[in-house]
Amino acid sequence: MLMLNDMFDELNNFFYGKGGYKSFPVDLMEIENGFLVIGELPGVAKEDIKINFEDGVLTIEANKSKDENAKYLIDERDTTRLQRNITFGEINEESISAKLENGLLYVTIKTKVPEEKPKKTIVIE
């Protein structure tokens, strides 16, 4: 007979797959010259968060974990891998910055400033 926690684990695995990722809530705001992503990651330490930008996609991964050696009397907090992918257009990759404050991750992304190309004069033959 399955225990109640085992049933929840089975249901979770049905939707997310073993070893799969869960999502987490984010806000995406347009700011002057770019974007601001705010993600809710309560209980996640900054060393457990990885942020990458590749091919126009911002990927935020986080691991929520607990002490595996502890003997829990109540074990309700979720431990899982979290991930969000957000696709952007042309941005200045070097300008991406992030900070974690009170369980909120702030990722600031600046758009590329269009380069001014010199005017080309065409000579008529």
- Is 16 contained in some domain? no
- Is 12 contained in some domain? no
Output the domain CATH number for residue 90. Answer: 2.60.40.790
Phi, psi of 61 (to 5 degrees): -120, 140
Is 10's pLDDT higher than 70?
no
φ/ψ bin of 34: left (φ > 0), alpha (ψ from -120 to 50), beta (otherwise): left
**Taking the model in full, what pTM does it have?**
0.70
- How is 53-92 classified by DSSP, letter by letter? EETTEEEEEEE----TTS--SS--S---EEEEEEE-SSB-
- Is 51 contained in some domain? yes
Is 12's pLDDT higher than 70?
no
- pLDDT tens-digit series, residues 107-122: 999 987 667 777 777 8
Which has the closest alpha carbon to 65: 82, 50, 52?
82
φ/ψ bin of 7: left (φ > 0), alpha (ψ from -120 to 50), beta (otherwise): alpha
Alpha-carbon span 87 to 55, nearest angstrom: 9
Q: Which domain holds residue 66?
A: 22-110
- pLDDT tens-digit series, residues 15-47: 554 445 678 899 999 999 899 999 999 989 999
How many domains does the structure of the chain reveal?
Answer: 1
- Is 66 contained in some domain? yes
- Is 61 contained in some domain? yes
- Is 58 contained in some domain? yes
**Which has more confidence, 5 or 125?**
125
The DSSP H or E segment spanning 12 is helix 4-16
| Overall size of the chain counted in residues | 125
What local confidence, expressed as pLDDT, does residue 21 receive?
63
- Is 92 contained in some domain? yes
Contact between 39 and 24 (Cβ < 8 Å): yes
